[in-house]
Amino acid sequence: MGNMVALVGRPNVGKSTLFNRLTESRNAIVHETSGVTRDRHYGKCVWNGIEFSVIDTGGYIEGSGNIIENETRKQVLLAIEEADVILFLVDVAEGLSALDEELALMLRRSDKRVLLVVNKADNNVRYWDAGVFYQLGLGEPYPVSAVNGSGTGELLDEVVRCFVNAGSADAEDGLPRIAVVGRPNVGKSTLINSLLGEERSIVTPVAGTTRDSVHTLYKKYNHRFYLVDTAGIRKKGKVTGNIEFYSVLRSIRAIESADVCLLMIDAVQGFESQDMSILNIIRKNNKGLVLLVNKWDLVQKDSHTSRNFEQSILEKTAPFRDIPVIFISAINRQRIHKVIETAMEVYSNRMRKIPTSELNEHMQKVIEEYPPPSHRGKYIKIKYVTQLPTHAPSFAFFCNFPEHVTEAYKRFLENKLRAQYNFKGVPIQIFMRKK
Ligand code: GDP
Ligand code: GDP
């Protein structure tokens, strides 16, 4: 829970190259949800059985010259606040720069675990040159080559050691954990306060259920759940620089520690790319999702407005369109009850387990009616399907040529599952396996 690694460093040291290497799916156990476009800046890595998030801070920077340097400084500060482990990259081919020294100073002052990664150590000579970076005062350098992968194993060993030492003490009492996420100013705090301010709700802050976060036990309308309130999510303060980076970094921890995420968007501004970035993190973590269109009081409405609005959002989230959308006014407490009801429904959808016999009976009919397209004259036969015992719904279809089943066909199967069973608000994973 909440194992987050941030890659920081000046431009061109190799952050995005290392990011790609760490999050490549070929050695990751985490499979991509079908249809999810690969995020270039946020991904998952599994090493020695331990899963963690990796964020490439540099990926969010646009501009040149001084702008880049200023942004880099700001992002290092945010990474210090939000990440659990920081990989500080420097470039052995270029040597030490003034900006490296400045960033190192910021990192030394923080109490976060920082690993000094000396990149581009592609050969022996450069490997030994890594020693000059000792003077940054960040301890033993880890020479790596992001391009050819050398040294990354030792680095990852140390990264996961940091997590094991930090431990995790999550409340495992089986109550739903709900997080309110979204970019700054959409109304998250207003909603949380509306919820917490409700009369007759029993409010118990449970400190330290997750590092750096407080989960509030909430009891209302016969439901009991935790409201995930991470340090980052309600934090105010000037947002300067890249809003997308800011919102993403501030949301990751909350998303990871929740079962269901209430992704709030601003009705006046509409569904923007920053909202999509957060939605992608929710999908990538296979968390439940409810979309809240807030500030609905500010919108001029006729009888079609909400339906059109909903359709325009779901066009953007496609192929994942089976998402509840609720139009609310957090400030007027409009439809707050419905928000909770829907979150609870999504929670139980995410827990849904379909018995194997029932699943096969239904899906075999579907497959018979519309079998997978053959590949180069080979007939593809799906013999059997079973739901895997994972936290979030995932299904394994056993067949003779799993590698030749198209993405489009997997999506077709997913849609048929959604049409038959209620998985609203829940990402589904479809795997093809060799029998
Ligand atoms: P970023 O700006 O920090 O994200 O850096 P990039 O990942 O975009 O890399 C900048 C340049 O350095 C690219 O041309 C990469 O191919 C190159 N590069 C990255 N890692 C290595 C490495 O390990 N060895 C060498 N020789 N080049 C690298
Ligand atoms: P956060 O940054 O996402 O936590 O956003 P806040 O809860 O601080 O809200 C940002 C601003 O939007 C504040 O001025 C709120 O009063 C306002 N706001 C929040 N919810 C609503 C709403 O439903 N309607 C309107 N008109 N304003 C809202």
Q: Is 16 in the pocket of ligand 2 (CB under 6 A)?
A: no
The dihedrals phi and psi of 205, each to the nearest 5 degrees, come to: -70, 125
**Ligand 2 centroid – CA 381 distance (Å):** 53
**Ligand 2 centroid – CA 249 distance (Å):** 20
Q: Is 12 in the pocket of ligand 1 (CB under 6 A)?
A: yes
* Per-residue pLDDT tens listing for the chain (435 residues): 468 899 999 989 999 999 999 987 543 333 344 444 445 688 888 888 888 899 988 766 666 777 778 888 888 888 888 888 999 999 999 999 999 999 999 999 988 899 999 999 999 888 888 889 999 999 999 999 999 999 999 999 999 988 865 544 444 567 899 999 998 889 988 888 887 765 433 344 444 333 344 566 767 667 888 888 655 555 555 555 666 677 777 788 889 889 999 999 999 999 998 899 899 999 989 999 999 999 999 999 888 899 999 999 999 999 999 999 999 999 999 999 999 999 999 999 999 999 999 999 999 999 999 999 998 888 999 999 999 998 899 999 999 999 999 999 999 999 999 999 999 999 999 999 997
* Residue pointed to by tokens 């399907």: 385
User: pLDDT, tens digit, for every residue of 249-295?
Assistant: 778 888 988 999 999 999 999 999 889 989 999 998 999 999 999 99
pLDDT of residue 79: 85
pLDDT of residue 158: 93
Atom number, ligand 2, closest to the C-alpha of residue 332: 23
- C-alpha distances (whole Å) from 201 to each of 88, 196, 216, 256, 258 are 45, 7, 11, 25, 20
Among residues 331, 226, 239, 319, which one has the least CA distance to residue 280? 319
Q: Is 298 in the pocket of ligand 2 (CB under 6 A)?
A: yes
pLDDT of residue 30: 36
Residue pair 52/156 in contact by the 8 Å Cβ criterion: no
Helix (H) or strand (E) holding 341: helix 336-351
pLDDT of residue 198: 54
Atom number, ligand 2, closest to the C-alpha of residue 294: 23
**Ligand 2 centroid – CA 190 distance (Å):** 6
| Exposure class string for 28-66: b at 16+ Cβ within 10 A, else e | bebeebbbeeebebbbbbbbeeebbbbbbbbbbbeeeee
pLDDT of residue 36: 43
The protein residue with its alpha carbon nearest to ligand 2, atom 22, reads 295
Q: How buried is residue 240: exposed, middle or buried, by Cβ count under 10 Å (0-12/13-18/19+)?
A: exposed
The protein residue with its alpha carbon nearest to ligand 1, atom 7, reads 14
* Residue pointed to by tokens 């995005």: 16
Among all ligands shown, which has an atom nearest to the Cα of 264? Answer: 2
The protein residue with its alpha carbon nearest to ligand 1, atom 14, reads 12
Among all ligands shown, which has an atom nearest to the Cα of 265? Answer: 2
Atom number, ligand 1, closest to the C-alpha of residue 146: 23
Dihedral sign, CA of 37, 42, 45, 51?
Answer: negative
**Ligand 1 centroid – CA 119 distance (Å):** 8
**Ligand 2 centroid – CA 245 distance (Å):** 21
Among all ligands shown, which has an atom nearest to the Cα of 117? Answer: 1
Among all ligands shown, which has an atom nearest to the Cα of 89? Answer: 1
* Residue pointed to by tokens 């990538």: 284
Q: Is 247 in the pocket of ligand 2 (CB under 6 A)?
A: no
The protein residue with its alpha carbon nearest to ligand 2, atom 12, reads 187
**Ligand 2 centroid – CA 24 distance (Å):** 39
Q: Which residues contact 259 (CB under 8 A, 6 or more apart)?
A: 176, 177, 178, 287, 288, 347, 350
Q: Is 184 in the pocket of ligand 2 (CB under 6 A)?
A: yes
User: What is the rounded CA–CA span in Å between residue 234 and residue 264?
Assistant: 13
pTM of the model: 0.77
Termini Cα distance of the chain: 33
Q: Is 188 in the pocket of ligand 2 (CB under 6 A)?
A: yes
Question: Among 190, 230, 238, 298, which is best to mutate for testing ligand 2, by the most ligand atoms less than 8 A from CB?
Answer: 190
